[in-house]
Amino acid sequence: MMNKNQNDVENTFMKTSDILTILQKKIHTVIMATIDEHHHPMTCAIDLMLYEDDTLYFLTARGKAFYERLMAHPYVALTGLKGEDTLSSVAISLQGKVKNIRHEKLKEIFEENEYMKDIYPNEQARDVLEVFRFEDYQGEYFDLSQKPLIRIPFSYQRPLPKGRYQVLDNCIGCLKCYDVCPQKCIDITQTPVKIIQKHCLHCAKCVEVCFQQAIVRI
């Protein structure tokens, strides 16, 4: 378990705080998935109200089914997307455990999100709202507007998400992986060759063509 934000060492140009600031301030409205009483996934649009102290905050009203799902199964997954089309898009995914902190941070949330005062205009109306905080999370930043694309895993109080590919020592440097890589994100100046993680699509074509079985998913 980590006790602070952890980033891929190859991606130090963008910190977890940078990514979560983009998610909360620039994307703001995300699609969040929870689990219902039948253990089926349910989604809804949720605004991320505040980023503070290395974590994110959102709220909902006690009468909503979303609230009931959060209280029964306090784990969520979300995706935020911003861009005019696919090749101008930034997508951020995040999964983690949330905690109900009731009215804590409610004042700060209304100060930062002025539009909420039009929906819940007074203290009496706001009493029904309860705030949730992410206790831990892991996720990924994926930017298709860059060439080559940028992929950055991040986490807080959790290991980094799995799914990356790594070249083992039995690589002979045949370069078949480089020939088929759509992003050409393989450093072939050394043997074994090295996958440049921040540009990798995770398509696994390199795995398919490696007759040495020298590329594995980690």
Quick check: bond before 192 cis, omega within 30? yes
Task: Provide mean pLDDT across the span 89-103.
Answer: 97
pLDDT in tens, 9-54: 344 468 999 999 999 999 999 999 999 999 999 999 999 999 998 9
Q: State the Cα–Cα distance between residues 42 and 49, nearest whole angstrom.
A: 21
pLDDT score recorded for residue 160? 86
Strand partners, 96: 76, 137
**What is the full DSSP assignment across 67-136?**
HHHHHHS-EEEEEEEE-SSGGG-EEEEEEEEEEEEETTTHHHHHHH-TTHHHHS-SHHHHTTEEEEEEEE
Q: Are 91 and 81 in contact (CB under 8 A)?
A: yes
Confidence of residue 103 (pLDDT cuts 50, 70, 90): very high
Task: Provide mean pLDDT across the span 84-112.
Answer: 96
Q: What φ, ψ does residue 116 adopt, rounded to 5°?
A: -65, -25
pLDDT score recorded for residue 138? 96
pLDDT score recorded for residue 209? 98
pLDDT in tens, 152-196: 999 999 988 888 999 999 999 999 999 999 999 999 999 999 999
